Structure 1
Amino acid sequence: MELLWFYVAIVLAISDILHTQLMWKVLNNFYIILGGLIYQSVDSPAKTWLVHELMEAAFHFVVLTLVFLSPTIGILAAFIHFVIDVCHTVLIGHMGELEHRALHFIIESAFFIAIYGL
C-alpha cells in the first residue's frame, strides 16, 4: 500500500502515452473529424480545446478505474491530469514532449503521495 501513489502515477503516465498513440496514430482521421464536429457545436477554439481535455480526462478515468478497480482513483487521476493540462497550457504554453511528461509525472506523483503516501 505504501507505493500505491507510485503505481497510480506510472499507470497514469502509461495511460497518457496510450491516449496519445491511440488518438494520433490509430484513430487520427476520426479524431480530426470529431474535433471539427466539436468545434462546429461550441464555435470556439478555446471551448473545443476544453472539451478535448475533458474527453481525455474521461479516457484516463476509465483506464485507471479499470486497472485499480477503484472509481476514486480514476476520478482523482482524471482530475489532476486535467488540471495540469489546463494550467500548463494557460500558464506555460508549449512544452517539449519530455518536459511535458516530466511535469505531469512530478506533479501527479506529489498529488498521490499527499493522498496515499502519508
Structure 2
Amino acid sequence: MEILWFYIAVFLAVSDEIHSRIMWGLFADFYILLAGVIKESVASNIRLWIVHEGLEALFHFVVLSLVFLAAGLGVVALEIGILAALIHMTVDMYHEYSGIELNPLGHRCLHFTIESIFFILVFAAGVPT
C-alpha cells in the first residue's frame, strides 16, 4: 500500500486516455452535439468549458472508484475517486487558464507529476488505506 499514490496516478492517466478515445473516437459526433446543447443552455464559452471539465471529472470519479472498489478498498475507493476527479479537473483548469502550450506527452507528464505529488501528500497526512 505504500505506493498506492502511484497506482492512483497511473489509473487516472489511463482513465484520461480512455475518456479521450471514447469521446473523440467512438462518440465524436455525439460529443459535438452535446457541446452544442450545453452551450445553448449555459450561454457562455467559459461555462461550457466548466461543464465539460465537470463531466470529465464525473467520468474519472466513476472509473477510479470502480477500479479501487474492485481492488477491495471499500469506502476508501470512493474517496480516491472524488479526490482523483477533483485534482485532475484542477490541473486541467489551471493548465487551460495559464495558457501553457504543451504537446500531448508534456500534458500527460504535467498531470502525472501534479497528481502524484498530490496523492503522496494526501497519504503522508495519514488518510487510511
Aligned to 2:42: 42
Q: What secondary structure sits across from 1:105 in the alignment? A: helix
Task: State the partner residue of 1:98.
Answer: 105
Structure 2 residue runs without a partner (length 5+): 70-76
The question of whether the paired residues in 2 share the 8 Å contact of 1:3 and 1:117 is answered with: no
Unpaired runs of 5+ residues, structure 1, are: none
Residue-by-residue CA offset, 1:57-113 (whole Å, 9 max, x unaligned): 000000000000111000000000000000010013432111110000000000011
Pick aligned residue for 2:78 from 57, 71, 79: 71
Superimposed CA distance per residue, residues 1-50 of structure 1 (whole angstroms, 9 cap, x where no aligned partner): 10100000000000000000000000000000000000000011111011
Larger proportion of helix: 1
Q: Which has the larger radius of gyration?
A: 2
Equivalent AA in structure 1 for residue 66 of structure 2: L
Aligned to 2:114: 107
Q: TM-score, with normalisation over the residues of structure 1?
A: 0.96
TM-score (ref. length: structure 2): 0.88
**TM superposition outliers: structure 1 runs of 4+ over 6 Å:** none
Q: Aligned residue pairs: how many?
A: 118
Aligned pairs for 1:10-89 (under 5 A) are: 10-69=10-69, 70-89=77-96
How far apart are the structure 2 equivalents of 1:67 and 1:108? 17
Q: Equivalents in 2 of 1:113, 1:20: separation in Å?
A: 26
Whole-Å separation in 2 of the counterparts to 1:54 and 1:37:
16
- After superposition, the CA RMSD in angstroms is 1.0
Larger RCO (CA within 8 A; separation ≥ 6): 1
